[in-house]
Structure 1
Amino acid sequence: MKEQVAYKAGVAAALKHPAPPSRLQRLLRSLYRERIAYLFMAPFLLCFTAFILLPVLMAILMSFTSYDAFRIPHFTGFKNYISLITQDTVFMKHALPNTIKFAFFVGPIGYLLTFFIAWLIYQLPKSVRDLVTLAIYAPSIAGGIALVVVWQAAFSGDYVGYLNQFLMNYNMIETPVLWLQNPKYLLNVMIVVTIWMGFGVGFLAMLAGFDTVNRELYEAGRIDGISTRLQEVYYITVPSMKPQMLFSAVMAIVGTLKAGAISVQLTGMPITKQYAGHLMLNHIDDYAFIRFELGYASMLSVVLLLFSYAAMKLSYRLFGPKDGE
C-alpha cells in the first residue's frame, strides 16, 4: 500500500515538474520556430551541400584510396600522405617551395600593395578617383585574355617583345631574353602578373572601407597627438575598417592558392620546363588529368585545403573582431 502511494506521488511530481528537454528536443523546437527562415535559406544550403560540402567530403575520403577513374577505389590508408613526404620529390623540390615563394610575394606583399594603392586613390578627388579605380580594376575583369594578349607580348622572347625592346634601347641587354621559357625568370614573371591582376573585389572592398571610417576620429586623433598620415592609418584607419580588410585578406588567399593556371596561360604548357612555374595546383592537375591518379590528387587537394585553412585562421587572428569590439 505504501509503495502504491509513493508511486502515485512520484507520478504527480513528474507531471508537475517535467524533466528538462534534451539537446535534440531543443534543436527540433528551434528548427520548428524558425521554419520560415530555414525555408528561405534552403536554396543556398542545398547548393552549398551539393557543390561544396559533398565534394570536400568526397575528396577527403578519396585521399585514402588508390583510384584511376576506371576501377573501383582501393583503400590504402595513409599511404598517399606518406608517399607525399617520402617519395614525391617534385612536390618537395619544386611545387612546395614555388608555392611558398609565390604565396609570400602575391599574398602579404600584394595585399599591402593593394591597401597602399587603395589609400592613394582615396586621396584623389571623387571625379578622378572613379576613373583611376576603373583603370586599375579593369585587368582583373579581363582575366586570361589580358594574360595572352598583353603579357605574352610584353615578355615575348624575340626582338619585338616590349620588355626586350625597352631594355635593348637603353643598352641594358645585348640579346633578347626568353622570359617565359627560361626557368630562371618564369616564377618571377608569374608573381608580377598575378599582383597586377590582383586588384579585384578585395581592392574594391578596401576602397569602400575608407568611406566607412568616421571623419570625426581623425579630428579626435589630432587632438590626442596624432600628427602624421602614417599614424592616422595605423591608429585610426586600419582598426576602423577591419571587416573590409578581413574580406580582402580572404580574397587574396583564395586568389593566391588558385593561381596555378597562370603558368599554363603564359607558357602554353601544362608542366613548365624544369618545373620552374610548378605550383601546388599544377601538381594536382598533373596527377588528376594527366596521370589519372585521382586518389593521390585528392590527397593533394586536402593538403592545399589545410594550407588555406591555416591562412584563413591567421587572417581572422589579425583582422577578426576581438572581445569587446
Structure 2
Amino acid sequence: MESIFSAISKHRHSYILMGPYFLLFILFTVVPVMISLLISFTYFNMLEFPVWVGWQNYIRLVTDDEVFIIALKNTILFAAVTGPLSYIACFFFAWLINELRPKVRAVMTLIFYAPSISGNIYFIWQTIFSGDRYGYVNGILMKLGLVLEPIQWLKDPQYILPIIMLVQLWLSLGTGFLAFIAGLQTIDRTLLEAGAVDGVKNRWQELWYITLPSMRPQLMFGAVIQITTSFAVADVAMNMAGFPSVNYAAETIVTHLIDFGTIRFEMGYASAIATVLFVIMVASNLIVQKLLRKVGE
C-alpha cells in the first residue's frame, strides 16, 4: 500500500490533471452503468418505486421474449458482417488517402468522412430503394426487364437487413477512419527506411511489420468504435425500415431497448436488455484487442 501512495505522491501533478476527466467519467459513465445494472433486477415503471424481482427480467429475455431472440440474432449477424468490413474499409481507405498530396488528402478525407456527420441522409437511400417504379433500383431493374413490377425493398423481410447493412457500411467511415488517418501521419519515416535495410521487400511486408505495429493504439481505438457502432445500430434500422419493422426483420437489441425504455417505460426490463448488450460489447472488445496484439508478430 505504501508503494501505491508513494507512486501517487510522485506523480500527483498527473493525477491532478486527469482528475476532472476521471470525475466526469465516473459520474456519467460508471455510475449510470452501475445504476442500470441494479435496476435490471427490479420492476420499475417510472411511476412507482422499484420492486426487486431478482433474475426474472433476464429469464424473461431468454424464455419468453421471442422478439428479443430475433433482435439478438439480427444484431450478431449485423455486427459480424458490418463490424469487420467497416473496420477494414476504414483502414484501407485511410491507407490509400494517406499516400496523396496534403491538399488532395484533406479533400478526400472530407469526402469520405462527410456521410457520417451529415444530418438526415436516409432519404437518399429511401429514394434509391423506394417500393414504387420511381425508385432508382426498381426503375433500373424494370428498364432492363429483370423484374415486371416494383419490389418492396423496405417492406420485404428478405431484403431489409442486407439493405440496412449496406447503408451502415456507407456511413461507417467516421471516427475510426479519422483515427487511422492520424495514426498513419504519426509513423516515423525512419522506421520505413530501416525496414528496407533490414529486408522488407514490398508494401505488404511494410504494412504488416512496420505500419500496423506503429499505430496499434489507433487500431485499438478504431476497433472499439467500430464494434460499438455495429452492435449499437438503431437509427439506420428505424429510419429505413420503420419502427417496428415488418416481421421485426430489422429489430436490433437497441431498438428493442428503445421500445421498452421509451415507449412502454418498463425500465427494469430495458436495463436488463442494456446489460446484456453491454456484456456482449465488452466480450467482443476483449477478443478483438487480443487479436490485435498479435499484429506484426
Structure 1 length normalisation: TM-score?
Answer: 0.83
Task: Provide the C-alpha distance between the structure 1 equivalents of 2:114 and 2:269, rounded to a whole number of angstroms.
Answer: 38
Find 1:169's aligned residue among 139, 143, 165.
143
Residue in structure 2 matched with residue 189 of structure 1 by the alignment: 163
Counterpart of 1:91 in structure 2 is 68
Q: Check whether the contact 1:186–1:277 (CA below 8 A) recurs between aligned residues.
A: yes
The aligned residue for residue 66 of structure 1 is 43
The correspondence of residues 234-253 of structure 1 with structure 2, limited to 5 A, is 234-253=208-227
CA RMSD of aligned residues (A): 2.4
Match of 1:276 among 239, 242, 249: 249
Give 1 or 2 for the bigger CA radius of gyration: 1
Q: In structure 2, do the counterparts of structure 1 residues 175 and 230 end up closer, same or farther at CA, with 3 Å as the change threshold?
A: farther
1:314 equivalenced with 2:287 (yes/no): yes
Cα deviation for residue 116 of structure 1 reads 1.3
Contact 1:68 1:294 in 2 (8 A): yes
Measure how far apart 1:266 and its partner are: 1.6
- Which of these residues, 146, 166, 179, is aligned with residue 153 of structure 2? 179
Equivalent of 1:111 in 84, 87, 90: 87
- 1:210 equivalent to 2:184? Answer yes
Q: Give CA deviations for 1:170-222 in whole Å, capped at 9, x if unaligned.
A: 33333222111111111111111111111111101111222222333333434
Residue by residue, what CA displacement relative to the aligned partner does 1:284-316 show, whole Å, maximum 9, x if unpaired? Answer: 112212222211110111111111111221232
> How far apart are 1:275 and its partner, in Å?
0.6
Local SS of the residue matching 2:121:
helix
Aligned residue pair count: 296
Does 1:44 find its partner at 2:18?
no
C-alpha distance in 1 between matches for 2:147 and 2:213: 47
The structure with higher relative contact order (CA 8 Å, sep 6+) is 2
Identity level (%): 39
> Which of 55, 61, 85 is 1:78 aligned to?
55
Q: 1:159 aligns with which of 126, 133, 144?
A: 133
CA distance in 2, matches of 1:180, 1:173: 17
Task: From the superposition, tell whether residues 230 and 79 of structure 1 become closer, same or farther in structure 2 (CA, over 3 Å).
Answer: same
Matched position secondary structure for 1:158: coil
Worse-matched range after superposition: 273-282 or 27-36 = 27-36
Change over 3 Å in CA distance of 1:128–1:98 after alignment to 2: same
What is the deviation of 1:321?
9.3
Provide structure 2 residue ranges, at least 5 long, that are not aligned to the other structure: none
CA distance in 1, matches of 2:100, 2:7: 51
What amino acid does structure 1 have at the position aligned with 2:46? A
Looking at structure 1, the residues matched to 9 and 243 of structure 2 have their Cα atoms a distance apart, in angstroms, of 52
| Secondary structure, counterpart of 2:152 in structure 1 | coil
Question: Is residue 2:121 matched to residue 1:146?
Answer: yes
The more displaced of 238-247 and 123-132 is 123-132
What amino acid sits opposite 1:319 in the alignment? Answer: L
Q: Which amino acid aligns with 1:272?
A: S
Tell me if structure 2 keeps the 8 A contact 1:243–1:319: no
For 1:42 and 1:213, locate their aligned partners in 2 and report how far apart those are by CA, in whole Å. 30
Measured after TM superposition, the shift of residue 319 of structure 1 is 3.1
Q: Is 1:290 aligned to 2:224, yes or no?
A: no
After superposition, the C-alpha distances for 1:135-193 in whole angstroms (9 at most, x for unaligned) are: 111001104x112x311112111122122223333333332221111111111111111
Aligned to 1:102: 78
In the alignment, structure 1 segments of 5+ residues that lack a partner are 1-22
After superposition, the C-alpha distances for 1:266-297 in whole angstroms (9 at most, x for unaligned) are 23x32111010000001111221222221111
Larger mean Cα displacement after TM superposition, 224-233 or 94-103: 224-233
